[in-house]
């Protein structure tokens, strides 16, 4: 059995540079591919499986910044720039999402002074990468 992951790092590689994101409060990564059970005439239960194809949906909750944000997600959406994101579980796996574009940026805030952006990203591909060696 391995240890539990307690920290992860997210790096972005785009026209504004290649660096670790430090303003992401939370994230979700979901495959858009699915598996379905096929039905057939004369078969009472499932007849087989079919895999569907698709990409990946990534959602970030990011702290909204004034003036010069870490990443201008709205600008990336407007310019339709493609970029990559690399997720690294510290001491564990590393994977890169390629052909990423910003699908939507939504604002939210509350009376406690919490002002966040929800950034929805879509990626074309995921590549497993070797974990960096620790010495």
Asked if residues 85 and 59 have their Cβ atoms less than 8 Å apart, the reply is: no
**This prediction's pTM:** 0.85
Q: Give residue 88's pLDDT band: very low, low, confident or very high (50, 70, 90).
A: very high
For residue 78, report the phi and psi dihedrals to the nearest 5 degrees: -65, -40
Q: What percent of the chain has pLDDT over 70?
A: 98
- Residue 12 tokens, joined: 């972005």
**pLDDT for the residue numbered 133:** 61
Residue 77 has pLDDT above 90, yes or no: yes
- Residue 72 tokens, joined: 């201008």
Residue whose entry in the numeric block shows the structure tokens 């493609």: 82
- Residue 79 tokens, joined: 């310019």
Between CA 49 and CA 35 the distance in angstroms is 7
Closest CA to 30 of 5, 56, 6, 52: 56
Residue 135 has pLDDT above 50, yes or no: no
Condensed to tens digits (0 to 9), the pLDDT of residues 21-32 reads 999 999 999 998
Q: Which domains does the chain have, with CATH numbers?
A: 8-129 (2.40.30.200)
Condensed to tens digits (0 to 9), the pLDDT of residues 108-124 reads 999 998 999 999 999 99
E-assigned strands of the chain?
Answer: 8-14, 17-20, 24-31, 35-38, 48-51, 56-63, 83-89, 94-109, 115-123, 125-129
């Amino acid at each position: 059995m391995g240890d539990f992951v307690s920290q992860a790092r997210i790096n972005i590689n785009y026209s504004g540079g290649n660096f670790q994101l430090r303003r992401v409060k939370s994230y979700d990564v979901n495959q858009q591919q699915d598996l379905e059970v096929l039905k057939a005439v004369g078969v009472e239960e499932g007849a087989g499986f079919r895999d569907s194809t698709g990409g990946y949906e990534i959602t970030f909750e990011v702290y909204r910044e004034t003036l010069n944000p870490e990443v201008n997600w709205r600008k990336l959406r407007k310019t339709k720039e493609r970029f990559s994101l690399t997720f690294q579980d510290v001491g564990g796996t590393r994977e890169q999402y390629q052909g990423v574009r910003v699908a939507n940026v939504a604002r939210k805030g509350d009376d406690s002074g919490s002002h966040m952006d929800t950034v929805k990203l879509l990626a074309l591909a995921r590549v497993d990468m070797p974990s960096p060696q620790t010495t």
